[in-house]
Amino acid sequence: MTDLNPQALIDNLDSILDQEREALTKGDLNKLGGLMVKKEALINDLNAISELERETLTQVQGKVSRNQVLLDSAMEGIRAVATRMAELRRVRKGLDVYDQAGRKTRFSTRGSVALEKRA
């Protein structure tokens, strides 16, 4: 546990939450890993303080909730991109079509796709 008093820990957590929000809004996902480690350490230190009153944490509670919404949105965006990329890879491999009898046929697109330039 650190030697800082509870209010100093809360102030540090508040600062990290602001940095986390800035990284999320700018899309700087690389910065989030380091901030997460610092945030977890501060939260562990705060959890170890037995005389900590609930009222002292209210100032950061809103920021934690706000950042969680931003993190959820970022994850949703990443999942959407991953899904779209998987769809594009599947389309590049070929096209599935169904005939009148309902049988699926795949047309491969793996051959050389070249464009001809004309003047």
Q: What is the pLDDT at residue 6? A: 83
Q: What is the pLDDT of residue 89?
A: 86
pTM for the model stands at 0.68
Higher pLDDT, 67 or 59: 67
Question: Which one-letter amino acid corresponds to residue 94?
Answer: G
Residue 39, pLDDT > 70, answer: yes
pLDDT band of residue 96 (cuts 50, 70, 90) is confident
Return the SS3 of 115: coil
pLDDT at 1 > cutoff 70: no
In which band, very low, low, confident or very high, does the pLDDT at 37 lie, cut at 50, 70 and 90?
A: very high
Tokens 């209210």 sit at which residue?
58
> What is the average per-residue pLDDT within 63-83?
94
CA dihedral 111, 112, 116, 117 (to 10 degrees): 140
Of 85, 83, 73, residue with least CA distance to 27: 73
Check: CB of residue 54 under 8 Å from CB of residue 6.
no
- pLDDT computed for residue 50 by the predictor: 74
What b/e readout covers 41-56, taking b as 16+ CB neighbours within 10 angstroms?
Answer: bbeebbeeeeeeeeee
